[in-house]
Amino acid sequence: MDDQDRLRLLAFFEARLDEEESVAKAATPGPWRHNPDKHWRKPGTAWFEEAVFAGPPGEDATCVAGTGETNDAQSMADAAFIARHHPTRALVEIHVKRTLVKLYHLSVQHQQGGVAGAYLDAIKLHTTAHADHPDFDLRWGQ
């Protein structure tokens, strides 16, 4: 990978992190939780859904997502997944990935080629999570 490809990869990755950060900050603050014993009732219906909640427990909790019919195994799994990947966690993961980029730049600056290569490999691996993006270069996944 030449310098131009590395710069493109880093710019792409940082742009995706910016997008993820913007989405996470716009969402209802985490942590979120799924309690299989607490459900959300769809207004105007008798239908109860599995739900993901934010905020204080009890009546003041905010339902951030209803995932489907109560006690449905898939709805419960979806709710548990959504709750686990709440905005607070996403922001921590973004910070960790940004730290990888900073460490890469520091290792390049200090001419630590092997270390820089290892950080770049880690960044490439994280970048593959965005392989469905139109600007993703398939060579980055190799």
- Residue 141 pLDDT > 80: no
CA dist., res. 72 & res. 84, Å (int) = 18
> Same domain for 78 and 93?
no
6: Cβ–Cβ under 8 A, 6 or more apart, which residues? 120
Q: How many domains does the chain have?
A: 2
Are 28 and 50 spatial neighbours (Cβ–Cβ below 8 Å)? no
Domain of residue 7, residue span: 3-26+89-141
The model carries a pTM of 0.89
- One domain for residues 56 and 79: yes
Q: Examine the pLDDT at 142 and tell me if it is beyond 80.
A: no
Q: 66 and 107: one domain?
A: no
Grouping H, G, I as helix, E, B as strand and the rest as coil, residue 49 is strand
User: Same structural domain for residues 114 and 133?
Assistant: yes
Q: Identify the helix (H) or strand (E) that includes residue 99.
A: helix 87-109
pLDDT for the residue numbered 46? 79
36 with 79, same domain: the answer is yes
Task: Determine how many CB atoms are found less than 10 A away from the CB of residue 125.
Answer: 12
Are residues 99 and 117 both part of a single domain? yes
55: which 2 tokens? 């905020």
The percent of residues in the chain predicted with pLDDT above 90, rounded, is 75
Q: What is the pLDDT of residues 85-111, one digit of tens each?
A: 999 999 999 999 999 999 999 999 999
Place of tokens 């921590």: 92
- Residues 49, 13: one domain? no
User: Do 73 and 36 fall into the same domain?
Assistant: yes
Task: Name the more confident of 56 and 10.
Answer: 10
Task: Report the C-alpha gap between 32 and 80 in whole angstroms.
Answer: 9
Amino acid at 80: A
Are 100 and 119 in a shared domain? yes
Are 75 and 103 in the same domain?
no
> What's residue 97's pLDDT?
98
As a whole number, the mean pLDDT across the chain is: 93
Structure tokens at 60: 């003041």
In terms of pLDDT, which residue wins out, 88 or 140? Answer: 88
* Closest CA relative to residue 60, chosen from 78, 45, 38: 38
Domain stop point among 47, 63, 84: 84
- The 10s digit of each residue's pLDDT in 37-78 is 888 887 788 788 899 999 988 778 899 999 998 889 999 999
